Amino acid sequence: MASREFLKTLGYARLGDVSAQQKLASAYLTGDFKTPIQPANALIWLEKAFLSIHYQLPQQQASSNADLLQVIAQIANIPLSETLHSPAFGFGWNCFWQLATTDTASHSRDAAKWQLVHLLINPDNQEIQSQLLEWLNNRAPFISIPLLANLDFGGLQKIAKQYLQELAESESAFTTQAKELLIKLQPKNEALSSLWSAWLEKQNEAALIQAAELGLTSAKLALGLRLAQINGNESPSSSEKENGGKSNASLKKAAHWLELAAKDGDRDAWYALGEIYRRPQFSGYNATESDRCFDRAADLGHAQAQLRKGANLWRKREKIEEKVRGLQASYWVWQANQQGVPEAQELLCKILESYPNPKKNEWHELALCAEQALNHHAEHKLDLDWVLLCHRLIIANQFDFSKAELLLSEVGQLQHEHCVAVDIRWELPKILPRLIQIETIQQRRALLAAGKAFVGAEQDIEGNLRQRRYRFDKVTAWLMETFKTQAGAEVD
């Protein structure tokens, strides 16, 4: 059943309210208001928002350009391949090409390029690509980008391949995915395929060597692992260690092939190189280079490398200069935990505190009252400093803050991708910082809502600690007096 907030937003959107249309599109992308994630519907509402802004009265055009750019940037977050059957797909198609070919913000441009690459040349989308070709043949008049006017489907794919190469060579959020897709798209002619099949089916080492020499990344990796006697991502067996492992000559050859595979962006190759540089019988033994290889594998998403990097940072936390000790380590261990590494969970519990159940926390009743107050903000005409304190109460309940942390934490700097870092030493130097894991959707939503409220507020609006304590007593008394009945009903 749709939430009351969703229905209210939907009503405003249908009346032509641009901000409501954008908010509705965001809900269809993120699942806010318990909305099912439907990228096709998100695109429809963004098209409506775009058109509403585009056809504003002439005297309003001064502000409309910025609003249009905001809508187009929001479009960049939509998975284009999932919207092919949407009636707004033509609008989305044009917007993505516009983002990819104009000098927009780098993240939006890279996101648009990646979505076009994924749609046009990812072999996993062959069925969608055939449907896209049919759509292009039927809807050519709707294409308004000059660059595409005289291009057939093959020409579009050629441009997408250029975008893929650019993303793979850049340092962006899509670099790792681009490199993985490049490996997947390597030429697979019949000779190379037969050589690789001969290795997989008959363990023909000559075929493996030939395939590696012809440039097949998976063959380079397999040959390097074989020469180093590394089974997958595991270290040598105990019997191999007792015999001294592989000779230096074999390890040099292994390192050669693994370096070639690593240059292609293979994370398993980087991890294996890290192990080789740690082997005492290897003449190139270098602990620093080993750590660099493990770090590179971690950056590319290798789960064991992420755990190793996190554990290493945790051991060295006393020597590392960082604002909150253990923050870097917790990030990498959390990444490994997200990929299901069993040891990561145990280490993560040592680094991060966990409070997934707000009903057990001290501020639960007050937080429910604060939510009621924010939901009836217009009715009670709350001042901004009261609104900010209500958000503080909700966050304090979600993460079990102390009263000092509730009043003094810098809300805009709390959230990191995986945790909140609570540091109030700027006012109370003796209180140590805490790292608390973000585990629930409610916690993320509380942080997001608070962040939006605080971003436009003046820095000194909340005053000093004495003023904050006075406001806390006043606001909490009002909350309990006004909303305690409703909050009690929700608890029940």
Do 294 and 272 meet the contact criterion of CB atoms below 8 Å apart?
Answer: no
Tokens read off for 94: 């044009």
This prediction's pTM: 0.62
**Cα–Cα dist 267/219, whole Å:** 14
Element (H, E) at 421: strand 419-422
Cα–Cα nearest to 10, from 83, 2, 448, 92: 2
Tokens read off for 238: 């105990």
Beta bridge partners of residue 420, listed in sequence order: 415, 436
194: CB partners within 8 A, 6+ apart: none
Tokens read off for 394: 């909700």
Is pLDDT of 176 > 80?
yes
What would the pLDDT profile of 384-413 be if each residue is shown by its tens digit? 999 999 999 999 999 999 999 999 999 988
Do 119 and 81 meet the contact criterion of CB atoms below 8 Å apart?
Answer: yes
Residue 471: the pLDDT is 94
Task: Report the percentage of the chain scoring pLDDT > 90.
Answer: 39
Residue 244: the pLDDT is 47
* DSSP secondary structure letters along 125-156: GHHHHHHHHHHHHHHGGG---GGGTT--HHHH
Residue 480: the pLDDT is 92
What would the pLDDT profile of 36-65 be if each residue is shown by its tens digit? 888 888 888 888 888 877 666 444 554 556
**Cα–Cα dist 125/81, whole Å:** 8
Beta bridge partners of residue 434, listed in sequence order: 422
Residue 467: the pLDDT is 94
